[in-house]
């Protein structure tokens, strides 16, 4: 059974249309897959950017804390330096007071010795007056 040429052409045309339609479907499916991959890639990039931003934020927060701790340490160091200066000044004052006290002690000892000597001389003088006859 022979198919007339027009029908054959029509069948070939229908087959070509089906082939074209199938190719278009395949192309659309590939395009959808490509778009899905692009969307997934964009989402991955967005997520990576978000994670990098969050990591930067964590680092910034840590750096602020480190700067605050460094400032506290600097202040403590300054307070310790001032305390050391005060301690040196107090030690110098204590040395000066000890020297004055030593000098005062030497003066007091000399005064006590002089007083003892004077008292001894007074006793001797009184003793002579009491032993001398009265004229």
Query: Higher pLDDT residue, 47 or 15?
Result: 47
Tokens of 44: 């991955």
Residue 3 · residue 11 · CB < 8 Å = yes
Rounded distance, CA 83 to CA 133, Å?
Answer: 75
Taking phi first (over 0 means left), then psi (-120 to 50 degrees means alpha), and beta for anything else, what does residue 133 get? beta
Tell whether pTM > 0.75: no
Q: Given this model, what pLDDT does residue 8 score?
A: 64
Q: Given this model, what pLDDT does residue 4 score?
A: 58
Rounded distance, CA 101 to CA 72, Å?
Answer: 42
Q: Given this model, what pLDDT does residue 123 score?
A: 92
Mean pLDDT computed over every residue of the chain: 90
Asked whether the predicted pLDDT for residue 1 surpasses 60, the reply is: no
């Amino acid at each position: 059974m022979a198919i007339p040429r027009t029908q054959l052409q029509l069948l070939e045309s229908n087959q070509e249309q089906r082939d074209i339609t199938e190719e278009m479907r395949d192309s659309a499916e590939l395009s959808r897959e490509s778009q899905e991959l692009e969307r997934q890639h964009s989402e991955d990039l967005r997520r990576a950017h978000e994670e990098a931003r969050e990591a930067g934020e964590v680092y910034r927060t840590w750096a602020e804390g480190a700067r605050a701790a460094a400032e506290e340490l600097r202040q403590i160091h300054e307070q310790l330096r001032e305390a050391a200066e005060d301690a040196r000044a107090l030690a110098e004052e204590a040395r000066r007071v000890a020297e004055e006290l030593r000098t005062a002690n030497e003066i007091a000892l000399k005064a006590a010795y002089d007083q003892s000597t004077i008292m001894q001389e007074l006793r001797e003088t009184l003793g002579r007056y009491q032993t001398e006859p009265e004229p």
